[in-house]
Every structure is written in C-alpha cells, then in structure tokens.
Amino acid sequence: MPDTALSARAEKTSRRLPRWATSFGPQIVLGLVVGVVVGLVARAMPDAADGNENWLVGTVHTLGSSYVKLLTVAVIPLIFTAIVSSIANLREVTNAARLAVQTLLWFAFTAFVAVIVGLVVGLIVEPGARTDVSTSAEKAPGTTGSWWAFLTGLVPNNFLGLNVKTTLAEGAATTTLSFNVLQLLVVAVAVGIAALKVGDKAAPFLEINASLLAIVQKVLWWIIRLAPIGTAALIANAVATYGWDAIGSLGWFTAAVYIGLAVVFFGVYPILLRMHGLSVRSFYSGVWPATQLGFVSRSSIGTLPLTERITERNLGVPREYAAFAVPLGSTTKMDGCAAIYPAVAAIFVAEFYGVPLGITDYLLIVIVAVVGSAATAGTTGATVMLTLTLSTLGLPLAGVGLLLAVEPIVDMGRTAVNVTGQALVPTIVAKREGILDRERYDADRRGEPFADEDAAVAAA
C-alpha cells in the first residue's frame, strides 16, 4: 500500500476519533477512574450467600491477575531475546563498558538519595511512636534476606532460571512455575557474549533471535493494548479488597512512606532531570503509562515489558542500551521497596520496641539500601528487603508482621516509584553519553507504545 494511502487513512481515522480514544495515556487514566468506581461498587455489594466474595469482586480479581500473568509470561522471551540482540549490537556501541558502569553507579546514587529521604521523613514523622497497633499483629516472616543470597542467586538453576514448586493441600498436588530474572540475565548475557566470540558461525542464530524478538514485541503490543482493561480490573480489585480500612492504626506509617515516595518522585527525580538539561514534563509524560501500570499491578517484573518499551520509544534511549539497563533495573533498582520503605519501616520497628538507634545504625541502613537490592534480587520483594535491614541492625524480625496490614496499600506507591526510577537512570546515562534521541524524548505523546511497529508491518 502506498505511503500516501496510509497517511490518508490515518488522517481520516484521527479526525473520526477523539484524542483520548487513540492515545495510550488517557486510556490508562480512564481505566483508573473506571476501576475506582467499579471497586467502590464491588465493596458496597454484599458477600455471596456461601460467605465468599461477591461475583463482582471475583470478576475484577480474575481479570486483573490474568492480565499481570500475561505480562509476566512475556518477560522471559523478551529479556532473553532482547539482551542477546543488544549484546550482538554492542559492536556498534563503542562505550558499552562505560554505559554498564555508569548505570550501576547511578542505581547506587539514586538509592542513596532515596534512603536519606526515607530516614529524614521517618525521623520527623516518628511513625512507631504514634501507632496503636498491638503486638498481637506480629507474624514472623516466612522468607528473609541475606547477603549470601546475591551470590547464590547469580547461579542459574537451569537454562531459563525457572523454579518449580509443588505443594500438597487436601490430598491434591499443585505445581507452580516461577523464574529468577537475575539468573535469566546471567544466561542471556553469557549466550550473547558467546555468540559474539563465535563470529560468523553465530550469524544464523542471531538472525533467528532477532526474528523471535520482533515476534515477542508484536505479542507484547497486543497484550499492552489491553492495559486500560487490566488497569481498571487491578485498581477495582485493590479498592474492593482493601479500601482504606486496612490503614487503621498504621496511618502515620503509611503517610510517612507515601511522603517519602512523593519527595523522591516529585522532588529528587525532577531535580536530576533538570541537572542534565532534560524536560521534566517530557519525562513524566513519557514514563506515565508504565508508572500507572506499576501502581495498579504492584509488580516491577510484570510492568517490565512496558517500561522497556516506553524507555526506548518515548524517552529516546537506544534499544541496545535499554534492553540491558531496564531488565537489570527491574531486579536491582528499587528506590521505593529497597530504600524508602526499609528506612521508614526500620525506624518504625525500633520506635515500637523502644530500641534506640545511633549514627552507626543509620549508616547501616544506608549501606543496606545502596547495595542490598542486589542481595534480594533473587527473591525480590520489599518484605525480604526489610528483613535484611532489620537483621543487619539486630531488630526483631517479628516487627515485619506489624506492617502486613498495609502492605498492599504501600506497595502500590513503592512499585510506581520503582518503575519510574528504572526508566530514569537509563535516560540520564544516555543523555550523559550523548546517545539520547532528544527529538524522540521531546516528541508529543500520542498513540500506543508499539504503534510504530504496527504501522511498519502495515506498510510492508
């Protein structure tokens, strides 16, 4: 089909439909609004006659969890093919090693700033001294973090880092599969480097890998087009299940966490962007779809496909670099879960149990936040990161159970900040190295993240 015909068809379609109907960001916002309304309705409805949740709560829960599963399923082939492809293309990038070092340094620096913010907010608010929660809420954590977990987590269990777990309940066996992103990164990097070393003999493999990557991205585009529906279902399930009743006596703790998240999101990140001559508005308009999806899904891994795509398409980070930095950030770059939250929570637990903290303790919190994300990369989760912090300080691990009531509520904000930071660092590093596409970064935000690839297929 000639280009003029395609342009005419696109122009005709754009005249027929309003912007909100063709732009991804407004569709996500609409999904949030609809989700809140549906969640409130579901929460007001009575439970089923058998005592189980009503049909509307069950429906939004099923839709939301199914959408996160769809995104997560696409993570394995996306990470593997994208990283192998990016390493193969590193021959065209003269400063690949410098990019990797700068990425890790900026991960550490932003984590350092975030944990300082968390400590300051925690010391000002004093959430542990203002709580009415009782010790009956204590519950020892089932999984704890350790510094040794980072090294053991690097060793793949199998080619794709898959873990199989079988549980017995009421005479029935249930088997679940999970994967370790850190191990998958190690495998993909090893395969990519090996392909480079092999040379011409690996050319057919790299061509097949590039084809698989294109197919995976097409499937992802179909999945991400469902994001408004998934967003509506996820936020509806959160409102219907938790509402604000769970906050209760932990209101000051919840407020302290969200204040810290807001300072980093609305203060620290914009300052860093301005320091590098980047438009704050362009960054947030570009990253917003991933931030929103991270907020409602509470999963950096589930949001990873969209985060990587908007980092490349909206923010102008080269694909070769984004395919490396964003997956790495999804496991080791967690300003919300690994810096702000553990800092505030450690102060809460210390105040609750009447344990005084000194300068050395605060320094330990900073150290754990800066390098501890890697130690929890194999197991992930803010709870695991918190247990690592508490055990390092010698505070009671049972204090983790005090905060479980508000875990889902604070996790939404934590994940939104995590995802935003995972896109911020590659953008800053790309700008510092002179490889950021400023025209793409400052471009108008319209359409869907994979719309350009769809147009390319149609043109072909």
Q: Which domains does the chain have, with CATH numbers?
A: 22-135+143-446 (1.10.3860)
Looking at the chain, the whole-number percentage of residues with pLDDT higher than 90 is: 20
Residue 65's closest CA among 224, 305, 234, 229?
234
Residue 157's closest CA among 175, 138, 177?
177
pLDDT digits 0-9 by tens, 224-234 = 778 788 888 88
Task: Find the mean pLDDT for residues 373-388.
Answer: 62
The predicted pLDDT at position 266 comes to: 96
Contact 193, 87 (CB under 8 A): yes
Residue 192 burial by CB count (10 A; 0-12/13-18/19+): exposed, middle or buried?
buried
Contact 324, 422 (CB under 8 A): no
Which ranges of 397-450 does DSSP label H, i.e. alpha helix?
Answer: 407-432, 438-441
80: left (phi over 0), alpha (psi -120 to 50) or beta: alpha
Query: How far apart are alpha carbons 47 and 54 in whole angstroms?
Result: 5
Q: Please tell me which residue, 171 or 120, carries the higher pLDDT value.
A: 120
Worst-scoring range by mean pLDDT, 90-104, 310-324, 386-400? Answer: 90-104
Contact 227, 29 (CB under 8 A): no
Query: How far apart are alpha carbons 422 and 428 in whole angstroms?
Result: 11
Q: Tokens for 342?
A: 């553990």
Q: Tokens for 278?
A: 């980047």
Task: Find the mean pLDDT for residues 311-338.
Answer: 85
pLDDT digits 0-9 by tens, 419-448 = 999 999 999 999 999 999 999 998 876 555
Q: Cα 124–127–128 angle (5° rounding)?
A: 125
